[in-house]
Structure 1
Amino acid sequence: MFVHSRRRIAAPIAVTALASGVILAGIPASAAPVTTTFGTSCLATPSAVAGPTTQSQSGSVIVDAPESVGAGETFEVTIQPGPIAFPGSASGATVQNVSRIKVDVDVPANATLVEATIVPGTSAGLSGVAPNILRVNENGNVDPNGTILRLSGNNQVIGNSPSSSINSEGGIVVKATGKNVDGSNNADGYTQFQLPQVKAILTAGDSGDVAMKVRTGGSAGAWNNDRNFLTFLPKATLVITAWAPTRCTPRDAENGPLNSGAGPLATTRIIEADKATTTTVVGPANAKNGTPVTLSANVSGGANGGTVQFFDGDNPLGDAVPVTGGSASISPTFTEDGPHSITASYSGAPGFLASTSASAKIVTVTTDAPPDAVTTTATVSPSTAKVGQDVNLTAKVDPQGTGGTVDFIVDGTETLTATVGTDGVAIAPYTFTSTGTHKVVAKFTGSPGFAPSAAPAFPVSVTTPAPADVETSTVLDAVGTVQKNTPVTLKATVDPAGATGKVQFKVGDTLIGGPVDVVNGVATVPATFYNSGTYSVTAEFVGGSGYTSSASAPQTLTVPGDTDGGPGGGTGSLDLGTLFGSLGG
């Protein structure tokens, strides 16, 4: 991975000469190599005889990698170290060997490492521990999530490893033989050896570049650090055995900054996959016949370019419109009343897939949208209540048949919402918990064709029930759907069963007959309904001596019209005089 130009280095001390004399020859060209030439400076720190010595030489790294790959594509990067040479002697000392050789490369970002392996049969002159590729972390420990690929003899190096030493042979060992890689004698007495070829298989990420770099991040880029990308341990003898642990970084001189060797040595560009898009139609729910209306199609995913074709049903709505900043708009004029089903189809653009709106935008066109009718709201009851007594807050909206809801606001804090029935009445159950005069405001929220309105604050005088009075509760049986002209019986149950008093049944705020006696906790009343619609039915118990009063929660009563399958005449308007055929009691 790392190559020096070949030249002799003279030094007065054998170990120093050995450390500075380690050189790497040229690397054979690969299929599509990328070569970066840069200076490399090393510091040898002999264990005896001499002090630290610095040596700087010009070197290069060659990486064979594709220029570009698709997002998510698996590809191969090959790194071939060139022949490395060291002298047989220096300054009278005899070189024995070089061991604990290590070269570190960063695991590239924007890619997932599938595997890294040694290519068999591509090394020469090596002994000791067989070279292998390990994935290690910043501390040099084997780690499946580590950020460094290490070429070494099973992690036996001079430092930054659990198998470190600076005064013993280990890892990859190259004995001094004075021979070239091909086995011929070297005229200069140098020993050549070849580190193996390394093959890394990577899977590209979604975007960006995959850059191969030697290890220089953090303290690995500092001078004379065990984390430096290239380290080794020369051994020589003169009178004594001396060791010279050596550490190298890509810089032109000891005091110089990191140079281009610390940058990307080969870069593979990731070609992003076309991004999926989602097209959504935005526009008003209603439009007037003959008046232009703006419809927009929003294309997600950052799309810029391409066109959107709008459709009204199956018919193109105008011409295709260019997409700018992820949006396209048109302003058609509809000339036909009724619902229009608007969809949009995005054509796609370089880097972006086509898409069609998943659901239609319904635009209802009318000739003249009628103005909202004025409404009035009045709070009807109750005017008095007892603490803990179940009551029904009742309001009436005029005109009847508006639909919508009424919000009851108690003392400006609590809000209860009730549906407005066909008779214009809305009822919400409530229980006051304190005495005094409480203010209830009823607000009609409005409905299609009807304007909102509000009633003035309605005072409710709440007092404490007699201490001896027994609390009661009243439950009205579910009413559900009742056919027109068909007699039914409404039933209310009062608890406790022995409570005395009467029950008044109501539809909205209209009484159904008169009060009905409670017998064994039950009160009933017969009724026949003539007008279709939806109403709220309640039962209010007025307790006799010794019992509190209570009111049931409202039950929904539905009377179908002719179109709903019910018997009798048409729905017509609500006529309270004919709403009930028989009022029992």
Structure 2
Amino acid sequence: MLGVSPASADPGSTSNQGSTSNLIYKKSVVGGTAGATLHPGDTVTYKNEVIHNGGVERYVTKIRDIPPAGFVYQSGSATGTGSGSSISQQADGSVLATCSGGCSFLGGGFVVKSGQSLNYTVTYKVPAAAPLGVFNSGMFFDVYTFGSTQGFNPANVNVEVVAPNVATTTTLSAPAQAVTGTPVDLTANVGPANSVGTVQFKDGGVNIGSPVAVSGGVATLSHTFDTVGSHSITAAFTAGPGFVSSTSTASAVTVAAPAVATTTDLAVPAAAVTGTAVDLTATVGPAGAVGTVQFKDGGVNIGAPVAVSGGTATLSHTFDTVGSRSITAEFVAGAGFVGSTSAAHAVEVSAPAVATTTDLAVPAAAVTGTAVDLTATVGPANSVGTVQFKDGGVDIGAPVAVSGGTATLSHTFDTVGSHSITAAFTAGAGFVDSVSAAQAVDVAAPAVATTTDLAVPASAVTGTAVDLTATVGPADAVGTVQFKDGGVNIGSPVAVSGGVATLSHTFDTVASHSITAEFVAGAGFVGSTSSAHAVEVSAPIVETSTILSAPADAKTGTSVDLTATVTPATATGSVQFKDGGVDIGAPVAVSGGTATLAHTFDTVASHSITAEFVAGAGFSGSTSAASVVDVTAPAADTTTVLSAPVDAKTGTSVDLTATVTPATATGSVQFKDGGVDIGAPVAVSGGTATLAHTFDTVAQHSITAVFSGGAGFNDSTSTASVVDVTAPAANDVETSTTLDTIGSVAKGDTVELKATVNPATANGTVQFKVAGVAVGSPVAVVDGVATASHTFADAGTFAVTAEFVGAEGFTNSAAAPQSVTVPGVTDPGDGTGSTGSLDGLGSLTSIFGS
């Protein structure tokens, strides 16, 4: 047999030798495009030596180099045996040298005397379609007077075929922020995902730790920054064989000082059994620390991080391997805390002896010289150990490790006959051995090569059947032919009869079609494929019809779909939609019989819409009947702002005021407390609606205002305002609040808002508001006065209020609202420029008292 086909093992040795009588024979890889590591299309040279080791001289009658399976001999490359030699390539791909001049009298061979050697070198090319992996080779030679051929095959002289170098890209994922002393993950994603190599993470061009191996296209480094500042992080991918190095763009990480230090203690059982869950508990101090705990076994994550609650995090974990496990708990801190890691605790894990079963899967038939898979499935799937495959009780190769419950051996049979195959599982700790039932594999000699020729018409018309005919040689070949169009199956396989298979086929697309015939061989024959033949397919002119689908109504400014359906659905071309005979946008390509245009009408009117189909080759054009779309103007959007007191007392009425924009909006406002209606809806007048309401429960009440728009206006809902309702105090000092007059200011001006609280000894804070929106935080009252600065960025008329929240012993109060006019705005509703009367805000003094 030829040198062995690819395997996934390491290339191993590139030379080997043996001996017979007083001769040493040796084979080695001596040259090539890239030594023992090759790419498809590279060349490799082997040297075969027969060395005389003293004693009687020898006559080598022939020497044969056996290349790896599929490698192509480079004609004229065989050298070293001298000018008196005859070189020929054998049917199995090996290259033979025999003596043709200056040969020995006896046997007519090459003369090899004491201290001399016969050298024979041959060069081969790796096929472009060669599979990737390790390839073996061999050599044989005959000696006059020896009773048998000498040498070895396989000779364990290996080369490895690898993929050509592939360009890569590297992207970096790093947190935008970090704190010193707390590890963060730096992750590099290398594409393609099968790239091999390492990633060196760098901070400002300086290496961070050691390179990290790429696995599944990802490399991650856990890194702890030790200096505060902005760090420029990059990831440099150093490629392994077959790939090109690449570097990510830089990512900035802003590193700050840590917050509160923490401690993490771990509680685990001293012993556990595989398959039985145990609790791993981490206690983090202080108890208010926020973050997650990552439990680890020997530094490897156990499941996902567990959130810390009340200072503890617990994970229920089932160990699946026997041994001493070193468990730690790593606290990953949230904002304001520093991460910490517990001391390691040992858990001694043992396992019960588990019974196993072994099932064997092998092909029912095989041929000599072609590898097949022998697969053993061991149950349960977590069983550890090895499987020894056997043929008639004799070991086949070395034992194969079980992974995920399976073990597979690629094996090539070299003898014809029925082979009885078994799989013997040798169990690791905690499991019991088992043996499969025997399976028979019938091994036959290789099949007969075939050729396939294809006959097709040079042209065809869609909708009209033509014959595709394949002729398979030899004529007695058995099997089926799968006809293909551009590599896609045409119908079902056709049985070969008398060396011929014919398919009647109707093309349905206009194009140049590349037709092939693939012979799928039956027993005793080898499959083959014809060369491709082109069939130019054209189509007859087909009549079409076009139907338009459009909405009966639409709004200006809102997109609607206009859809044309063209029959037949195979028609090719485009549709031009028209409004009153005028084109709407560009033509739309027809796909699957339809063309759709999203269109926004911009005029109020009745629009007459049509769809005109402009046909492609083989089809006629057509136009739809007109459809009328009645286009009207849309309703106006509104906004609703709620003004409610921050505090209130049970039993005392307060005003809830909703301001609706634009001020011309018609409709009503439903005030709600926690989603529950407060009274009946209030009609909007001049842009406002006010409800006097008395709270009867002490609590925080979430108040909203829901505007239901009248004709021409859309609904809107305010954001929620929280009113803190408390019981009235018996002896609180009454207060009053006044707001200094502001008047008119220019857009962009900054003004000082000033509130005066009486009596001047009153303690508390003032919250200034503009149009119901708080200006900054509450301002403390000092000597009866509170001030705040505010910039009026927009034009309009605004209500400014000041709400005094009294400290213990003082009542709340509010200033009467002040109107501030910022020139430059005109209300589109009535053209007066007015934003409505402040009267709609109600009496704020009634909220808190005078």
Q: TM-score, normalised by structure 2?
A: 0.22
Between the two structures, name the one with larger relative contact order (CA 8 Å, sep ≥ 6).
Answer: 1
Q: Which has the larger strand fraction? A: 2
